[in-house]
C-alpha cells in the first residue's frame, strides 16, 4: 500500500489535485490525467486562472502546487492551506495501474542501441522507473501501443511544458532562454493550421526532465521527479523548428470540450515515470 501512496503522490504533484485511493470506480482515468496536465499549461498560456474540468469543477492554475509541501502528506490528509485550494480526485489503484508492465530503467544505459515505435526512434526513459497504466482495451484498438509501423511514437510530457516553449518556433537556442521577446516572431510563423496556442511534448526524456515536476514524498521522505510517458498521434502533431519538440495546436476559437477532445485525439498516456533526485 505504501507504494501505491507514492504513486498517488506523484499523480497529485502532476495534476494539482488531491489524488486519493478508493475501492469504488475511479473518478478520473489515465486519459484524464494527461488531459489535465496538458490543458493546465495551455490555459496558463492564455492567461487564465482556472481550468474547468468535468467531475472536478474548476482546477486552480495558481502556483500552490509548486510549494514544497512534504508533498502529498498535505494533499492526501486534507491538511493545510495548499490542499484546501485543490479538488479531490479518487482512483481505484487496482483498475488504474497495470503492474505486469512496470519496468525499472533506473540502472539501464542504452548507449548506441536503437529502438523504434511507429517507425520512429524511441528514446527509452533510462534512469527512471515506469509505473504502467492500465490502458489495454481502453481505446478502439491496441495498435497505437504496439511496436509496429502503425504504432504511435513515444512522447514525454513534463509538468511545465508550457507557452514558454514558443522559443522553439524561432530559433534553436537553449530551452532556458528568456522567450519574452519572441512572441511576435513566433506569431509571424503561424499558418492557418497553427493559429493558436498548443500542447507541447517531446520524444527526448532528458528535455522533459528539465520541465518535470519535483515533489517530496511523505511515504519515504525522498524527493522524486515525475513525468508522463505517452504515445502521440503522428497525424495530430506538428514538428517545431527544434526537432525534439512536438506541438498539438488548439484553434483559438475552440470551446472547452473541443480543446479536451483535441488532446484526447493526440495524446494517450501509458506510463507514470518516477526518478529519485
In 133-251, beta strands by DSSP E: 154-157, 198-201, 213-216, 223-232, 238-239, 246-249
Cell of 259: 480543446
Residue 183 in this model has a pLDDT that exceeds 90: no
Q: Is the pLDDT of residue 191 over 70?
A: no
- Tracing cell 472536478 back to the chain, one arrives at 56
Residue of 226, 159, 161, 241 whose CA lies nearest to 200? 161
Residue of 267, 214, 275 whose CA lies nearest to 37: 267
Q: Residue 133 carries which DSSP code?
A: B
| CA proximity to 166, closest of 208, 192, 197 | 197
Q: Residue range 247-268: average pLDDT?
A: 93
Q: Are 211 and 38 in contact (CB under 8 A)?
A: no
Radius of gyration, CA atoms only, the chain: 18
Contact 88, 56 (CB under 8 A): no
The per-residue pLDDT for 162 is 60
pLDDT tens-digit map of 59-71: 888 764 444 434 4
pLDDT in the model for residue 61: 85
Confidence of residue 198 (pLDDT cuts 50, 70, 90): confident
Q: Minimal CA–CA distance to 218: which of 88, 72, 8? A: 72
Q: What span, in angstroms and rounded, lies between the C-alpha atoms of 6 and 12?
A: 10
Q: C-alpha grid cell for residue 274?
A: 518516477
Q: What is the pLDDT of residue 86?
A: 85
pLDDT of amino acid 5: 96
Tens digit of pLDDT for each residue in 152-181? 999 999 777 765 554 444 334 444 443 333
| pLDDT tens digits, 217-237 | 999 999 999 999 999 999 999
Q: Give dist(CA 226, CA 14) in Å, integer.
A: 7
pLDDT in tens, 3-29: 999 999 999 999 999 999 999 999 999
**Dihedral of the CA atoms 42, 276, 233, 48 (nearest 10)?**
-10
Amino acid at each position: 500500500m505504501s507504494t501505491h501512496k507514492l504513486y498517488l503522490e506523484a499523480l497529485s504533484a502532476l495534476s494539482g489535485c488531491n489524488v486519493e485511493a478508493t475501492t469504488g470506480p475511479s473518478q478520473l482515468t489515465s486519459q484524464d490525467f494527461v488531459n489535465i496536465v496538458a490543458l493546465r499549461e495551455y490555459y496558463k498560456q492564455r492567461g487564465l486562472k482556472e481550468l474547468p474540468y468535468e467531475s472536478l469543477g474548476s482546477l486552480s492554475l495558481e502556483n500552490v502546487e509548486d510549494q514544497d509541501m512534504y508533498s502529498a502528506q498535505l494533499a492526501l490528509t486534507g491538511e493545510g492551506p495548499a490542499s484546501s485550494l485543490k479538488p479531490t480526485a479518487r482512483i481505484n489503484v487496482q483498475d488504474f495501474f497495470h503492474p505486469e508492465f512496470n519496468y525499472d530503467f533506473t540502472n539501464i544505459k542504452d548507449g548506441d542501441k536503437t529502438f523504434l515505435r511507429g517507425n520512429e526512434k524511441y528514446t527509452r526513459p533510462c534512469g527512471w522507473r515506469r509505473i504502467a497504466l492500465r490502458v489495454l482495451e481502453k481505446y478502439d484498438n491496441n495498435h497505437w501501443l504496439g511496436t509496429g509501423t502503425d504504432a504511435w511514437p513515444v512522447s514525454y510530457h513534463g509538468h511545465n511544458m508550457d507557452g514558454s516553449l514558443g522559443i522553439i518556433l524561432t530559433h534553436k537556442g537553449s530551452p532556458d532562454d528568456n522567450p519574452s521577446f519572441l512572441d511576435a516572431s513566433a506569431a509571424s510563423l503561424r499558418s492557418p493550421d497553427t493559429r493558436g496556442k498548443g500542447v507541447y511534448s517531446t520524444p527526448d526524456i532528458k528535455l522533459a526532465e528539465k520541465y518535470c515536476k519535483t515533489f517530496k514524498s511523505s511515504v519515504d521522505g525522498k524527493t522524486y521527479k515525475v513525468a508522463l510517458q505517452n504515445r502521440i498521434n503522428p497525424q495530430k502533431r506538428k514538428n517545431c523548428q527544434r526537432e525534439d519538440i512536438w506541438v498539438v495546436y488548439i484553434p483559438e476559437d475552440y470551446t472547452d470540450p473541443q480543446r479536451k477532445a483535441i488532446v484526447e485525439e493526440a495524446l494517450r498516456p501509458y506510463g507514470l515515470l518516477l526518478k529519485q533526485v
